[in-house]
């Protein structure tokens, strides 16, 4: 005869602790400021068509290389295109590529990490694949993929996702290794839970915190990665205004229009700085060790 012992599973606790963590993040002034900037940039990028004072590709040969003014807050480029409108659309590209590449790496990486951590037989295979991907530095891998697939927004997203994949697989794997030894997992096994249920209901929800922290680190990395790929001519191609493309095309105009290189760069820095501030706050709030310090 078997005795069934009902044990509270931490899957119920996790969302509540995350709500507490979010409250802790909002009490941290720097992290809260970061979150506000990220939300504002997200909104501005989403509403770029409404907010932009001019169409991003409107050429005006009567207003070429204008420094910042009331009519053109961020100035104009060598074709008279309004830089504010282009920065707003560029931020949209940055956010899309940044978020989509991280989502893609999570969608592929989390199941692989869970399987590697859960099944000892699969671990060496998946770990070797991860090591092989890690053997190619992030940018070298992205450059190689862009060479195979040809430069485009999709290529940049896929290349960055592949570059981020090893980080995600490693975190998911180490969390699974840690969690599968926990008592609540043993209790679920005793309760007759199958592997899929263990992974889906017990391990994954408890690995979310670590994955969330990793994702907040990965988004600014991906945004900078997109800017680099586009700057090198391997990512988003003109006329789509990526911030990296804008900086690249400003290079020959350094003396006549320095603002063309300065402003898109400042936009990237503000966005990544805000994401890093929020990410740091989130990590501190979710990591009890940091709280004790």
Partner 1 sequence: MGRYLLRRLVESAVTLVLATMVVFLGVRALPGDPARTLAGEEADPVAIDEIRRQYGLDQPVPVQYYRYLENLARGEMGDSLRTGLPVTETIRDALPVTLQLAVFSLAVAVLIGIGTGVVAAVRRRGPAEWGANTVALLGLSIPNFWLGLMAILVFAIAFPVLPASGFVSVFENPVESFRHLLMPSLVLGTGLAAVVMRQTRSAMLESLSADYVRTARAKGLSGAQVVLSHALRNSLIVVVTIVGLQLGGLISGAVVTEQIFVLPGFGKLTIDAVFTRDYPMIQGVVLVTAAAYIGINLLVDMLYSVIDPRIRVGGAAL
Closest CA to 235 of 102, 96, 56: 96
247, 282, 285, 286: which one binds partner 1 (CB under 8 A): 247
Cβ atoms < 10 Å from Cβ of 6 = 7
140, 186, 190, 291: which one binds partner 1 (CB under 8 A): 140
Closest CA to 95 of 32, 167, 43, 22: 43
What whole-number distance in Å separates Cα of residue 158 and Cα of residue 224? 15
Question: Is 158 in contact with 225 (CB distance < 8 Å)?
Answer: no
**Minimal distance in Å, beta carbon 194 to partner 1?**
28
**CB-nearer residue toward partner 1: 106 or 277:** 277
179, 268, 285, 286: which one binds partner 1 (CB under 8 A): 268
To 10 degrees, the CA torsion angle through 178, 138, 263, 51? -60
Query: Can residue 251 be called a binding residue for partner 1 (CB under 8 A)?
Result: yes
Query: Can residue 71 be called a binding residue for partner 1 (CB under 8 A)?
Result: no
**CB-nearer residue toward partner 1: 205 or 225:** 225
**CB-nearer residue toward partner 1: 10 or 144:** 144
What whole-number distance in Å separates Cα of residue 42 and Cα of residue 63? 29
**Minimal distance in Å, beta carbon 234 to partner 1?**
7
15, 53, 55, 137: which one binds partner 1 (CB under 8 A): 137
**Minimal distance in Å, beta carbon 215 to partner 1?**
15
- Which tokens sit at 136? 């190619």
Question: Is 206 in contact with 11 (CB distance < 8 Å)?
Answer: yes
**Minimal distance in Å, beta carbon 26 to partner 1?**
19
Distance of CA 235 to the CA centre of its chain: 16
- Considering only 112-120, 153-161, 203-211, 271-279, which stretch makes contact with partner 1 by CB under 8 A? 271-279
**Minimal distance in Å, beta carbon 204 to partner 1?**
20
**CB-nearer residue toward partner 1: 16 or 292:** 292
Burial bucket for residue 129 (CB in 10 Å: 0-12, 13-18, 19+): middle
Query: Can residue 152 be called a binding residue for partner 1 (CB under 8 A)?
Result: no
- Considering only 1-9, 180-188, 204-212, 268-276, which stretch makes contact with partner 1 by CB under 8 A? 268-276
What whole-number distance in Å separates Cα of residue 241 and Cα of residue 111? 34
Instruction: Render the burial of 181-207: b for 16+ CB within 10 Å, e for the rest.
Output: eeebbebbeeeebeeeebbeebbbbbb
Cis peptide before 239 (omega within 30 of 0): yes
Q: Site residues for partner 1, window 96-135 (CB under 8 A)?
A: 128-129, 131-132, 134-135
Question: Is 179 in contact with 196 (CB distance < 8 Å)?
Answer: no
Q: Site residues for partner 1, window 194-233 (CB under 8 A)?
A: 220, 224, 227-228, 231-233
List contacts with partner 1 (CB under 8 A): 128-129, 131-132, 134-140, 143-144, 146-148, 150, 170, 174, 220, 224, 227-228, 231-234, 247, 251, 254-255, 258, 261-262, 265, 268-269, 272-273, 276-277, 280, 293
């Amino acid at each position: 005869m078997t005795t069934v012992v009902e044990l509270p599973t931490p899957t119920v606790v996790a969302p509540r602790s995350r709500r507490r963590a979010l409250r802790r993040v909002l009490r941290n002034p720097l992290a809260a400021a970061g979150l506000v900037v990220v939300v504002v940039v997200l909104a501005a990028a989403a509403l770029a068509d409404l907010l932009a004072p001019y169409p991003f590709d409107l050429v005006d040969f009567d207003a070429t290389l204008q420094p910042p003014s009331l009519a053109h807050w961020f100035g104009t480029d060598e074709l008279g295109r309004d830089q504010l409108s282009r920065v707003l659309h560029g931020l949209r590209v940055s956010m899309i590529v940044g978020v989509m590449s991280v989502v893609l790496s999570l969608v592929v990486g989390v199941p692989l990490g869970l399987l590697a951590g859960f099944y000892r037989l699969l671990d060496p295979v998946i770990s070797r694949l991860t090591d092989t991907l890690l053997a190619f530095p992030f940018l070298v891998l992205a450059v190689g993929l862009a060479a195979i697939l040809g430069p485009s927004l999709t290529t940049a997203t896929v290349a960055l996702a592949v570059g981020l994949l090893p980080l995600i697989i490693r975190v998911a794997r180490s969390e699974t290794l840690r969690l599968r030894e926990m008592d609540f997992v043993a209790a679920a096994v005793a309760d007759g839970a199958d592997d899929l249920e263990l992974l889906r209901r017990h391990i994954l929800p408890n690995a979310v915190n670590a994955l969330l922290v990793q994702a907040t680190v990965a988004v600014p990395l991906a945004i900078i990665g997109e800017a680099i790929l586009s700057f090198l001519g391997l990512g988003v191609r003109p006329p789509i205004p990526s911030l990296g493309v804008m900086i690249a095309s400003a290079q020959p105009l350094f003396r006549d229009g320095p603002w063309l290189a300065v402003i898109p760069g400042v936009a990237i820095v503000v966005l990544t700085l805000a994401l890093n501030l929020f990410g740091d706050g989130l990590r501190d709030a979710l990591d009890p060790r940091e709280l004790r310090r």
